[in-house]
Amino acid sequence: MATLLFRLAGPMQSWGTQSRFDERDTQLEPSKSGVLGLVCAALGRDRAETIDDLAELRMGVRVDREGIPMRDYHTATGVVVASTGKPDTGRTVVSTRYYLADAVFLVGLEGSAELLNGIHGALRAPHWPLCLGRKSFVPSQPIYLPDGLVQTDLMTALKTFPPLSSDVHESEWGDQSCRFVVEDSAEGAVRFDEPVAPFAERRFGPRFVKTLQLTPGGSDASHSTHA
């Protein structure tokens, strides 16, 4: 079993799973649908192509720096009306969009070494530009980690990889705990961000995740199944 690690860091990130109409939410850490969308962009997979192999990968996140939830207020005019197919120049649409400021995440995908090796190379030289949940949210640091492909399980990889945030020196890393959000096959909090069809169909199913508070390289400090 192999694990691929990569970094998601930027001034703005958004990982929505319940967005409807004019309000766009974000989770406090990357969603599986968002991460696999990023992987598809790196690989150059069209939205209509199958992603069954990617959906089988087990995902985990280590939160190296918690983001600050923020709200962005949008207005737009000339929005196309569905019933007529024409823009309504006299109508103003208000949209509220949430995002995370200054977050840093270490993301891990566990699965086939061959598949992960292909993704690792694609992250180094992506087919399409990569973003952090929305096209305008670009990374502030490289997503690709040269030593990110490791021959170990997901939790070991997440716990032992050096800190990504400049807030923590590596010599102090073992003295601090951080939050881990790890996919579980049997129990945990339910997230509806598992792609069950090509992205063009916008269909997602449930998966279980567990939230852990761990000291990297150490023992479990606390455990919660609540997202």
CB 174 within 8 A of CB 216: yes
Global confidence as pTM: 0.86
Percent helix, strand and coil across the chain, each rounded to 5?
A: 20, 40, 40
- Spell out the per-residue pLDDT of the chain, length 227, in tens: 899 999 999 999 999 877 665 667 788 999 999 999 999 999 999 999 999 999 999 999 999 999 999 887 777 776 677 677 777 776 777 777 888 999 999 999 999 999 999 999 999 999 999 999 999 999 999 999 999 999 999 999 999 999 997 776 666 666 778 999 999 998 999 999 999 999 999 899 999 999 999 888 654 444 454 44
Domains of the chain: 2-224 (3.30.70.2660)
